[in-house]
Amino acid sequence: MRRLFPLPAPHVRPGDFSGAPDDENSAAVASALAAEPGAIAGTATGTDAGAVSGAADSGPAGPVDSGPAGPADSRAGGAADSRTAGRADSRTAGAGDSATAGAADFTDRRWSLDELADAYAYPRLDRGAGWLRANMVSSLDGAAHHEGRSQPLSGDADMRIFGVLRGLADAVVVGAETVRKEGYRPARAREAFAARRAAAGQAPAPVVAVVTASLDLDFSQPLFTEPLVPTVVVTGAGADEDRVRTARKAGAEVVFAGEGAAVDPSRVVGALAGRGLTRLLTEGGPRLLGQFAGSGALDELCLSLAPLVVAGDASRIMNAPVTTVPETFVLASVLEEAGFLFTRYRRS
């Protein structure tokens, strides 16, 4: 795996400048080049092509999701209106905004889980605010799945990142349809993230939060009978009372987001943040993700672009009514391995 963006600061060689010491770089010149590459003739402002050569290490790594990835690309998420106006300003360099961490690392090698966790760290947030991140995979021609499943589009590196994103999250937000189709199981604890989660005050494993208006769920499934941490059901305040009682009797925590029977996607993040679940990861499906994006709830999209073409009529990663005005997201980072591009975009 290698980092393609953000770009590293240019390296200034002593021999490029007359009068420069032969045994060290000029910090002043390097600073000037970083601000305006090419301002000084004869400097090397590019990246040595040899620095990014090498075979991609795509050794096996197990997924942290104890259930299969889904047809609707079982990666999708939540929303909120409880954010405070200066939330983005509360991030600090190197902690909240990790886009520049390790920017000079263009070496093609296998990244450790800790390195990936640092690269994908959540931003620091104002108290009570939440952050909704989506993780999806797509083919080159825009398909979110192949013959009903996203797994054929995935690969070893994609599954490593998939696992890391779960290892960092307080809750995995998923639509009821995806839960039913994929037989979702509880997330499991992973030793690799135990110390990091404990230091952050997180539970040993992320909560699975199921978004549903009808509560048409099989509460005898392991997702509700065998979770390490109680499963959350997100529904509207007007949901069927009998189904709400059944969910609670099965051990699920019921969270209301919206006044009617349907869930208001713009209130999901706030409802979960009110339960202390602020680092949110949505895994689909496309309809739910489209609703979150359309309501302005999506903060970040981690999109894996597979080097595959599937054709057909598979859905896109978002399937919802067109937005009135397209919303701009800013590229935060790009990693590459074995032809896969792992992009990360944040809402501007």
What confidence score (pLDDT) does residue 151 get?
80
Has this prediction a pTM greater than 0.85?
no
Which segments of 216-348 does DSSP mark as H helices, in order?
A: 222-225, 241-249, 268-273, 286-294
What confidence score (pLDDT) does residue 15 get?
52
CA distance linking residue 175 with residue 250, whole number of Å: 19
What confidence score (pLDDT) does residue 47 get?
37
Task: List the Cα angle 312/315/319 in 5-degree steps.
Answer: 160
- Per-residue pLDDT in tens (0 to 9) along the chain, 348 residues: 988 888 765 555 555 444 444 444 444 434 443 444 333 333 333 333 333 333 333 333 333 343 334 433 444 333 333 333 333 444 333 334 444 444 446 778 888 999 999 999 999 999 889 999 999 999 999 998 887 778 889 899 999 999 999 999 999 999 999 898 878 899 999 999 999 999 999 999 999 999 999 999 999 999 999 999 999 999 999 999 999 999 999 999 999 999 999 999 999 999 999 999 999 999 988 999 999 999 999 999 999 999 999 998 888 999 888 888 889 999 999 999 999 999 999 998
What confidence score (pLDDT) does residue 185 get?
92
First to last CA, the chain: 27
What confidence score (pLDDT) does residue 56 get?
37
For 170, the token pair is 């307080």
What confidence score (pLDDT) does residue 147 get?
79
Q: 165 and 331 in contact (C-beta within 8 Å)? A: no
What are the backbone dihedrals phi and psi of residue 103, each rounded to the nearest 5 degrees, phi first?
Answer: -60, -25
Parallel, antiparallel or unpaired: strands 329-337 and 2-5 = antiparallel
